[in-house]
């Protein structure tokens, strides 16, 4: 299996064009700001929200400090590009072999940054795939806030994310995944259990139930250990074909 490493000069040219287009949007951030209360909705005891965010704008500024860092973006698009595609491809091949993903799946990568996850999905044959992040990286990643996905209900068969720890409102993060997944669809989360994430994390997770308790219309299908760039646990969650309230 081979992947193509992007050329550095074309990357700089595309990055400059992207920034010229998106910086005015980021400074205003009116399209990203959510009308959410500062105090988080109660979450399970195994999931702790980090204190210190005075407003949602403060939270967005912290995330954008990382996402727009020129040095990091160069690393993501050059040195890390093929390495991450190779690792993600192995994860996705395992999921396909286990029946959780197919070449006909419509797939979304939540918090995809430069789009390595999307490129990996396309490498293993899942052509209909896209990512969202606060900063777009065309053509693989659209602009979007994972607390309020820019898609209609039941848009995807498969959703993957390794940025659950960046969610300031985990219930909203999970609710948007359940909303945009089709009945029977699969959500895969890579998380770190029992250890503190970096300074950009907004929550800390101390047990699988801290995540699974947030899903209201889905069942846990599999848990396994992985080695995913500092994340050690893979959760595979399947949306029920009929919502709980529809059974009443």
Q: Counting beta carbons within 10 angstroms of the beta carbon of residue 3, is it exposed (0 to 12), middle (13 to 18) or buried (19 or more)? A: middle
- For the segment 11-24, the average pLDDT, to the nearest whole number, is 46
- Model confidence at 91, pLDDT cuts 50, 70, 90, reads very high
The tens digit of pLDDT for each residue in 151-169 reads 999 999 999 999 999 999 9
Residue 16 falls inside a structural domain: no
73: tokens are 């973006």
Residue 106 falls inside a structural domain: yes
Q: Range of 135's domain?
A: 47-247
Q: Is the pLDDT of residue 57 over 60?
A: yes
Residues 106, 117: Cα–Cα separation, whole Å? 14
Q: Is the pLDDT of residue 4 over 90?
A: no
Sign for the CA dihedral angle at 119, 237, 166, 175 comes to positive
- Model confidence at 195, pLDDT cuts 50, 70, 90, reads confident
- Residue 178's CATH number: 3.40.50.150
2: tokens are 């081979």
Residue 20 falls inside a structural domain: no
Residue 32 falls inside a structural domain: no
Highest mean pLDDT of the ranges 6-20, 132-146, 196-210, 229-243? 132-146
Name the pTM for this structure: 0.83
The tens digit of pLDDT for each residue in 72-90 reads 999 999 999 999 999 999 9
Q: Is the pLDDT of residue 24 over 80?
A: no
Question: 132 with 110: CB under 8 angstroms?
Answer: yes
Residues 234, 213: Cα–Cα separation, whole Å? 16
Residue 23 falls inside a structural domain: no
> Using the 8-state DSSP alphabet, how is residue 134 labeled?
S
The tens digit of pLDDT for each residue in 196-205 reads 778 899 999 9
Whose structure tokens read 């300031």?
168
Structure confidence at residue 45 (pLDDT)? 83
Residue 40 falls inside a structural domain: no
Grouping H, G, I as helix, E, B as strand and the rest as coil, residue 82 is helix
Length of the chain: 248
Question: 214 with 174: CB under 8 angstroms?
Answer: yes
Q: Is the pLDDT of residue 223 over 60?
A: yes
Residue 6 falls inside a structural domain: no
Structure confidence at residue 21 (pLDDT)? 44
Structure confidence at residue 2 (pLDDT)? 45
Structure confidence at residue 196 (pLDDT)? 76
Number of domains in the chain: 1
Residue 30 falls inside a structural domain: no
- Who has greater pLDDT, 133 or 229? 133
């Amino acid at each position: 299996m081979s992947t193509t490493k992007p050329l550095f000069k074309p990357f700089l040219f595309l990055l400059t064009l992207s920034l010229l287009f998106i910086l005015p949007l980021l400074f205003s951030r009116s399209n990203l700001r959510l009308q959410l209360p500062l105090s988080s909705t109660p979450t399970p005891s195994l999931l702790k929200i980090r204190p210190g965010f005075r407003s949602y704008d403060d939270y967005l500024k912290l995330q954008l400090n990382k996402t727009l860092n020129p040095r990091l973006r160069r690393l993501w698009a050059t040195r890390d590009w093929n390495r991450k595609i190779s690792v993600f491809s192995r994860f996705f091949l395992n999921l396909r072999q286990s029946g959780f993903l197919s070449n006909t799946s419509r797939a979304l990568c939540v918090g995809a940054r430069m789009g390595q996850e999307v490129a990996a999905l396309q490498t293993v044959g899942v052509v209909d795939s896209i990512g969202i992040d606060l900063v777009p990286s065309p053509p693989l990643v659209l602009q979007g806030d994972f607390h309020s996905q820019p898609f209609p209900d039941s848009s995807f068969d498969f959703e993957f994310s390794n940025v659950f720890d960046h969610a300031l409102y985990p219930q909203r993060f999970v609710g948007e995944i359940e909303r945009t997944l089709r009945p029977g669809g699969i959500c895969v989360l890579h998380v770190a259990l029992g250890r503190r994430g970096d300074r950009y994390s907004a929550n800390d997770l101390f047990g699988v139930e801290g995540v699974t308790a947030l899903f209201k219309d889905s069942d846990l299908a599999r848990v396994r250990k992985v080695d995913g760039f500092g994340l050690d646990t893979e959760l595979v969650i399947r949306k029920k074909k009929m919502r709980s309230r529809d059974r009443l």
